[in-house]
Structure 1
Amino acid sequence: MTDHDVRTVLPVQAMLGEGPVWIGRDSALWFVDIKGHHVHRFDPATGAARRWDAPDQVGWVLPTAAGGLIAGLRSGVHRFDPVDGSFVLLAQPDGHPAHNRLNDAATDGAGRLWFGTMDDDERAASGRLFRFDGAGVADSGLPPVCITNGPAIHAPTGTLYHTDTVGKTVWRATIRDDGTLGAPAPFVTIEDGAGHPDGSVVDAEGCVWVALWGGWGVRRYDPAGVLMGTVSLPASNITKIAFGGPDLRTAYATSARKGLDAAALAEQPEAGNLFAFDPGVAGIAVTPVAM
């Protein structure tokens, strides 16, 4: 894989674009700008885009089974109403340090929400992976890391992929029926000079796509962790992809301007924009969060 018809579809110049998700009932891609405190909605059929202001750093937005949306703000899980732009706190992780924030999230086949936290200063190993079942938040039991990313879930096999960005390693664990996790095992470690693993997602063939912060692209790994190919993108800091469109065969990638000086921005003027490309494979529809 090389370019795959890579194109810019929304020039938002996000400081820290993240959390892309295709919401089928809405026929739109939703994503956030964490540092800009923004929620974005993009309709590729019309090219229409809309933006909401969040009261704090917002890591992700996901659909609920009841038809609404929930969002991960710095302080915890919130209900988000795009009609009036309101955010209402639903749950917080126990012992959540004041210097931490929520970072990335995914749902499993049962509609449980899995989300990670991280040290906002990117120094302390205080980030953890949590599970939200609609009623409360529970610690996943995985060891703490500085920056959690992913998570990505392959519902047919009950496999959860969890990323330690600073450690440059993607881990995997089995999700048991009761929502607890089996012992984690390393899945992929990114070699020196190739960037750091950021967000990830699983396609319809069970392969894992890992975005590379500082790596100018996205990699696809088979279920055994063997590299299958790379898609190059016109920005160094790629944060995550989502499969969208009516057939889930378009990949959308978020990116970031964070950490880039004037010289770097001059080299990559597309940094922070939303990209799209043909991945050559379909994705899996997101399971709404069970509330």
Structure 2
Amino acid sequence: MEHVPTTVLCADHCHLGEGPTYDPATDTAWWFDIREGLLFEANLGSGEVRRHVLGRMASALGRIDSSRQLVVTEDGLYIRTIADGALSPYLPLEADNPATRSNDSRVHPSGTFWIGTMGRKAERGLGAIYALHRGEIVRLFPNVTIPNAICFSPDGSIGYFADTDENVLYRVLLDPATGLPRGEPEVLVRRRTPGGIDGAVVDADGRIWHACWGGGCVDVYSPQGEHMRSIAVPASQASCPAFVGKDLSSLLVTSAWQDMDAAAKAADPGHGQTFLLDVGVHGRAEPDVKLSI
């Protein structure tokens, strides 16, 4: 296990920290506590952290433009005005199924938004992965239990995703212009060591960085599936990484205390906190999500 310089960006103990992203234009990182319906906003220059109460479970967002975000929630997609936090419905997603909620999501270089859903109790096969493309939602992969690790190669020609329940990372060829699949998913990594494949991000050189739920680390793989690094995170349930900072060389990692009892929390003092790791690698800026309006 490799140890790198690490700081606590936010000491709040998130029930289920997830969905980090970064806006270089404002030097601002965003992430969620899914279970508590909170959106966190951190200015990296000043270190100031703000908490926004959403009134519903939410798991991810994409930047639309300098004033708006598209927020992925338990019942659909909402446009959020950054200045006042107002949420306006955009499109429903599984809003008629109270057994599911949103989970891991990420924007493809083309502006298409891949969105995962899952059972609220992680019921087997109840979730799916969708794409918001040109204002319409298309189901890409059904019967997913815990969709995670959605990320894309720098040129947009390859997509990755995992079902944490299977502990398998998949690779699928994409149309770079649309972010939609051109073939069937193939197994890239079948994790056999402790911990689950959770959220992931791709760096500027195409390596895949995935948080290891229960493993207290971030694992790094080549595009060919070769394991390259394991970097320690000071929380056992690391949940999702994102490259942040002016040169995109810091790795923000969220974590969670979900399903931990008092003894487990005491043994894991970093549970649910949000960290910055100096990993010595550059990431890529996240693309804006494209809407039909």
TM-score range, shorter chain: over 0.9
Deviation at 1:94, TM superposition (A): 5.9
**After superposition, where does 1:231-250 map in structure 2 within 5 Å?**
231-250=231-250
Give the aligned partner of residue 188 of structure 2. 187
Instruction: Show CA shifts across 1:151-197 (max 9, x none).
Output: 111141511101101000111111124443121001111114x2111
Give the aligned partner of residue 161 of structure 1. 160
Deviation at 1:290, TM superposition (A): 1.0
Give the aligned partner of residue 285 of structure 2. 285
Judge conservation of contact 1:134–1:289 (CA < 8 Å) in 2. Answer: no
Give the aligned partner of residue 17 of structure 1. 17
Write the letter of the residue equivalent to 1:229: R
Which deviates more, 43-52 or 88-97? 88-97
CA distance in 2, matches of 1:43, 1:227: 33
Judge conservation of contact 2:76–2:95 (CA < 8 Å) in 1. Answer: no
Deviation at 1:97, TM superposition (A): 2.5
CA distance in 2, matches of 1:179, 1:95: 24
Give the TM-score, by structure 2 length: 0.94
Judge conservation of contact 1:43–1:49 (CA < 8 Å) in 2. Answer: yes
**After superposition, where does 1:94-113 map in structure 2 within 5 Å?**
97-113=97-113
CA distance in 2, matches of 1:161, 1:145: 14
SS in 1 for 2:25: helix
Write the letter of the residue equivalent to 1:51: R
The verdict on how the C-alpha distance between 1:119 and 1:94 changes in structure 2, with shifts beyond 3 A counting, is closer
Give the aligned partner of residue 129 of structure 2. 129
CA distance in 2, matches of 1:29, 1:89: 23
Which deviates more, 111-120 or 153-162? 153-162
Deviation at 1:86, TM superposition (A): 2.0
Judge conservation of contact 1:104–1:149 (CA < 8 Å) in 2. Answer: yes
CA distance in 2, matches of 1:188, 1:6: 27
CA distance in 2, matches of 1:78, 1:124: 27
The verdict on how the C-alpha distance between 1:133 and 1:47 changes in structure 2, with shifts beyond 3 A counting, is same
Judge conservation of contact 2:110–2:178 (CA < 8 Å) in 1. Answer: no
The verdict on how the C-alpha distance between 1:173 and 1:238 changes in structure 2, with shifts beyond 3 A counting, is same
Deviation at 1:61, TM superposition (A): 1.9
Runs of 5+ unmatched residues, structure 2: none
Give the aligned partner of residue 44 of structure 1. 44
Judge conservation of contact 1:118–1:148 (CA < 8 Å) in 2. Answer: yes
Give the TM-score, by structure 1 length: 0.95
CA distance in 1, matches of 2:205, 2:96: 36
Instruction: Show CA shifts across 1:44-67 (max 9, x none).
Output: 211111111012111012211464
Give the aligned partner of residue 173 of structure 2. 174
SS in 1 for 2:265: helix
Judge conservation of contact 2:158–2:173 (CA < 8 Å) in 1. Answer: yes
Aligned residues: 289
Give the aligned partner of residue 71 of structure 2. 71
Write the letter of the residue equivalent to 2:186: A
CA distance in 1, matches of 2:178, 2:82: 32
Deviation at 1:218, TM superposition (A): 0.5
CA distance in 1, matches of 2:93, 2:136: 9
Give the aligned partner of residue 118 of structure 1. 118
Which deviates more, 173-182 or 207-216? 173-182
What's the C-alpha RMSD, in Å, of the aligned pairs? 1.5
Judge conservation of contact 1:32–1:61 (CA < 8 Å) in 2. Answer: no
- Pair 1:7 & 2:23 matched: no
CA distance in 2, matches of 1:114, 1:31: 17
Which deviates more, 176-185 or 280-289? 176-185
Judge conservation of contact 2:129–2:144 (CA < 8 Å) in 1. Answer: no
- Pair 1:81 & 2:81 matched: yes
Percent sequence identity over aligned pairs: 27
Write the letter of the residue equivalent to 2:167: K
Deviation at 1:150, TM superposition (A): 2.2
Judge conservation of contact 2:75–2:94 (CA < 8 Å) in 1. Answer: no
Give the aligned partner of residue 266 of structure 2. 266
